[in-house]
Structures are given as structure tokens and as C-alpha cells.
Structure 1
Amino acid sequence: MSIPHYRRYDLNLLVVLSAIFEEGNITRASQKLNLTQPAVSHALARLRDVFQDQLFVRQGAAMVPTPLARQIITPVRTALQSLGSLTEERTFDPAADRRVFRLALRDVFESSVLPPLMEQLEKTGSLIAIHSVRTDRTEIEAELRRGSIDLAMDIPFPVGDEINQLRVVRDPLTVVARRGHPHIAAGNLSLDSFLAQGHVMVSSRRKGPGIEDFELNRLGLRREVKLRCQHYFAACRVVSQTDLLLTMPGRYAQVANLAFDNLLLPLPLKIPDLDAVMYWHANMDEDPASLWLRGRLTDIFSDQPTSTASQAI
């Protein structure tokens, strides 16, 4: 006889059945389960109703299993062991687990996150692999829900209640200009001089203003964008060979301009710092692997110095 379908009974009854079989006594089974004797007797009555069999027959003080009880005890114990493994405390060992983390990162965050993260993994001999993927901002929530990405980092944007988020850094905008720029004396940049120059704008969108343009428009001012491109590294190289100016996140400016001798200058405009936000699905909130990953990324940003515009890299 097979075990009845699980929908017909409380799975906790199987625990009682196993305890009575093991102890051979209602009293000892109740002590083992930390239940009252009447509660165990009531559970046995329900088991008998489910299986349509006595299951245990009293012989003196002992409860002797019937042939059916002997037949089903092995699959019952196997089922209980399988259920128990699901409820055991989950752990994560970054040195031993062969886990692939998929992170939705834009190039701004790749340069800040990946070098120190991979350095740490290499030093510890970790078996973890990191895949950085490009995900459209409008698809991040859906991909987190599907589990096709484990975590995303981006600017703040609206998400549903099932997506958790944490601001990990605030980053001021910085102006990049070539060294020897004829209209930037002694590394000082006024708003008038800023507006008088041509500009490079980096955006994944084909059209639309940049962050600084919203504030300029509010003040009734306008800058002239002569080049719109997709990547900051290319923009920094253009700046190094022209008199165009580039406005970009300060932390990334320090990294992207290591290959150039560009100046990094404070933006002569009061604009709130850019927030970098970490996003993950709520069902991964207590997942040990996700907790480890979020902890490492938070530490990375905490260890990095706050970006400040300076005259040279």
C-alpha cells in the first residue's frame, strides 16, 4: 500500500508514526516529541483513519506495528529526512561553493566593483565565478524576480515592494577637461567658462537631457553638447584630445582617466550627488550566498575613498 496523498493529512502525523514505531510505546513517543500522551494518541487515531489500518496493536505496554506499518515506515522515514534537509540552516562557504553570481552592472559600477571583488576572490582561492551582464533598467525588476540575475546596481528608480534596495554610495559629479585647456586657468572652472565650452554627453539613450541639464534648464541656462556617445572611456579620450568638457560621476572619473592626463574639476553647479543603489529580490534577503555577496559589495564601497575633484590624476 502506498502512502496517501499528502493533501489528505497533516505531514506532522508522519513524525508521530515514526516516533511510535521507534519507541514502541505511546508514553515514550510523547516524551520524545515533547507532546502530551493524549496528543500522541489523538494523532495515532488520525493516522489510523488516513491509512484505514490499526498501524500499531497494543501487546501489554508495547505498541507492535502491523504489517502495513512495517511496510510504510521506510518511505515515511525517507520522506521525513528529505523534508528535514529542506529546513536545515543553509550555509554558504565562498572558498568551497562553485557558485556563479550574475550581476547587472553598468560600466560605471564595473570599474568600482569588479577589480577589488575579483582580487579578494583570487586571494582566498574561491571557486566563485562572477558574470557581469548588461540589463536594461526597465528589465531589472523582472530579471531579479526570475532569478536570471542575483543583484543589480544602478541609480535610484521605482521598483515594487518585492525588490529590496540599499544605497551604497553617494558620488558627486565631476568635470573632466584636458590639461592645458586654454579656457581653464590654474585648474579653476567657473559656471560661465563651463557654459562657454562644447560638451561631451555620455548616455545609453538616443536623446534627452543629462542630469546637469535639468538644473541648467531650471536656471534658464543651456550648454552645447557637441558629442553624444555611449561610454565614458571613449569620452575621456575625446576630452584628452579636444577642448570639450565631460561631466561624469567622480569615482568613475578617477578610474577612467588613469590612462589620460586629464584634469578633474568640481562641477560649478549645485546638483545633488548621484546615489548608487544595490537591488535584490526580497526572497533572497536571508539567503546566505546573497548576504555574503551584498556584504562584500558594501565593504568595497565603504573602503573606497570619497571622490573629490582634483587638478590631476
Structure 2
Amino acid sequence: MKQLDLNLLVIFDAIMREGSVSRAASVLAMTQPAVSNAISRMRVSFGDPVFVKEGRGVVATPFAQSLWQQTRKHLQSLKDAVDPQPFDPVSTRQEFRIGVSDLTVDIYWSKLRQKIEQGAAGVDVLAVPFTLATMENMLLNAEVDFVISQASPTMAPQLRHMHLFDSYYACTMGNHHPLAHKPLLLEDFIKADHLMVSLSGDRQGIVDCMLSDLGLERRVAMTTNHFSVVPKLLRENNLIATLPFGAIFEYTSCGELWVTKPPIDIPIKPVSLIWHERNERNPAHRWLREAIADITQKLKDENPLPKCLLAG
């Protein structure tokens, strides 16, 4: 392929959006012959007919459809970077795709929807599954706008992040449990029946790895593949669970569950909002970053971390 004139991509994008050479010319403030001439140059550069006439409009070839799918988000990002458009959350239609875990959805989604209903009715938020292995490529390839996860010092330099909170592990159980309302000893912890959240059904997690290093083992008596059922299982059964405090803070703050520090030191996990630098100046993206930061602060204020988890 010859050296590509990026102006051709701008004209190509306009024709794809409008489905008409004349309408694209109007949008671009160009003459129709000039746009037709650009199509001729596209055919040479791309090695494909690109557009074929159909009635009064044009139809894109399969190659053109594939090219547009790969380039349109990047073209929009370039436009936003050069000339950011004002964002009015009340009137603007905007879709955000956010890479989140089920726990993140439990923590943020209701509060975020409330904020949208109060003054951003045109905003749609889509939860997108991801893994730590796929997170970086999803952001680099514009498959998602944001990811809420742990930021890595080895992430691509194009990625930006904002610290949201530190995730502490807590050991929790029903108030009726024999181990509740007293210090939790390692010996009692080992002997208890444990509930574990496992997306794969595997009975080995961070707690088991740490116990194994100590030559110890616990009994995982039950697993579940999502966090939302944990409070009910703990309230109604003699199980204990060791999991991020964010999974159960609503139930401990109102006294429905007993929470204490695990008898082993589990590393604290910093959780961040991560995005690509292409959206750094995008007003809509900045609005969502500020909304999530505001929600995070309110959650911290309303649900302070129990002192027992901070104890040395």
C-alpha cells in the first residue's frame, strides 16, 4: 500500500456515517466532485472498490465495513483530542463501556445509576467482563472506555489511572456463629467451615496459598461464583468467609454480619479507575471519572473501614 493520506480516512468516515457522497460533502464542507475524487484515491490506496453505487446512495464493500469497524473509534478519539466537544450530561447521548468484576458492579452500579437518573439521563453504562490478562489490550484497542481494577506498574505507558480505594480483606460470619464477637484465633480459623467465592469453582485462593506457606490447610466447605449471595449464606449457616470488605460492608455497618481481621496478613489491594490517554481530555470521560470519584468518597464516608481491619 502507498503512503496513506489521513485526510482520506476522515472523508471515508464521513461517507460511512452518511451513506451518501453528497451528504458527506455537505458535512465536510467540500464539493461533491472533490469527495468523488477522494473515493478514487481511496480505491488506489486501499486496493478495493470501497463504495459501490446503490440508488441515490452508496454501499460500502466488505473491506470498507471492516476498515470502518477498526478505525472509527480512533478517528473519534483524534477529533475529541484536537477539538473536545462540550459535554452536557442532561442532553447528550453517551455510552460508556466499563470493564468490571461482579464485586465492582455490586459496589458501584446502583449509586452510579442514581447519579445518572438525577442529571445525566442520556448516559448509558455497560458492564463488560475482563481478566487481568485481557485488561490492557481491551483499553489499548478501545474495546472499553474504563476498567476498575488494580493498576500495574508494568502497564502500557498510554494508560492512565486514578486511585479509588484500598481493598482490605475481612473475615466475616453471621452474628450467631460460635466464633463471632471475640478475637479470631488462627487455630479456630483453620477448624471452621469456610465459604469461598470462586468464579472457576476452584477451592484454592489467596488464603489457601498463604496457609500452605505456613504448612496449614482450611476446609472450604462451599463455594459460590458470585458475591451477592454471600451475606444470605453467612446469616443462615455456620460458615465464615474471607473476602474483600467491599463485598459485605453494607451488611456489617448495619450489624447483620460480624466482621473481624483475618488471623493471617493478606496484602492490601489498591483499586483504581484506568483509562487510555486518548480520552484524557474528553469531557464526557472526565465527567464519568469525576462521578466515580464522587461516589467512591461518599461510600468511604458512609461506610468507614472497621478499626479491627486497620489494627496491627
Q: Give the TM-score normalised by the residue count of structure 1.
A: 0.65
Answering whether residue 181 of structure 2 is matched by residue 186 of structure 1, we say: yes
Structure 1 residues 243-252 or 233-242, which shifts more?
233-242
1:308 aligned to which of 301, 306, 309: 306
1:144-223 superposed matches below 5 A = 144-157=139-152, 159-182=155-178, 184=179, 186-207=181-202, 209-223=204-218
Q: Which runs of 5+ in 1 are unaligned?
A: 1-5, 8-72
The corresponding residue for 1:248 is 243
> What per-residue deviation string (whole Å, max 9, x for no partner) do you get for residues 96-152 of structure 1?
210011111112111221122211221225321111222333222222223221111
Q: 2:276 aligns with which of 257, 272, 281?
A: 281
CA distance in structure 1 between the partners assigned to 2:133 and 2:251 by the alignment:
26
Q: Counterpart of 1:150 in structure 2: which amino acid?
A: D
Which ranges in structure 2 are unaligned for 5 or more consecutive residues? 6-28, 36-77
Q: Work out the CA distance in 2 between the residues paired with 1:86 and 1:291.
A: 13
Matched, 1:105 2:100: yes
1:89, CA displacement in angstroms? Answer: 4.0
How many residues align structurally?
Answer: 237
TM-score, structure 2 length as denominator? 0.65
**Cα displacement (A) at 1:199:** 0.8
Question: Amino acid of the residue matched to residue 269 of structure 1?
Answer: I
Evaluate the alpha carbon distance shift between residue 204 and residue 127 of structure 1 in structure 2; reply closer, same or farther with a 3 A threshold. same
Q: Distance in 1 between matches of 2:222 and 2:168?
A: 22
Distance 1:244 1:97, change over 3 A: same
**1:114 corresponds to:** 109
* Residue 293 of structure 2 is aligned to residue 298 of structure 1: yes
1:226–1:208 Cα change, 3 Å: closer
- Which of 125, 131, 137 is matched with 1:136 structurally? 131
Query: What is the CA deviation profile of residues 244-281 of structure 1, one whole-angstrom value per residue up to 9, with x for unaligned ones?
Result: 21111112212367899332222222222222122212
Structure ID, larger Rg: 1
**8 Å CA contact 2:106, 2:228 repeated in 1:** no
1:177-224 deviation line (CA, Å, top 9, x unaligned): 122112x15343222211110111112234363222333233332222
Contact residue 189 and residue 268 of structure 1 kept, 8 A: yes
- Percent pairwise identity: 21
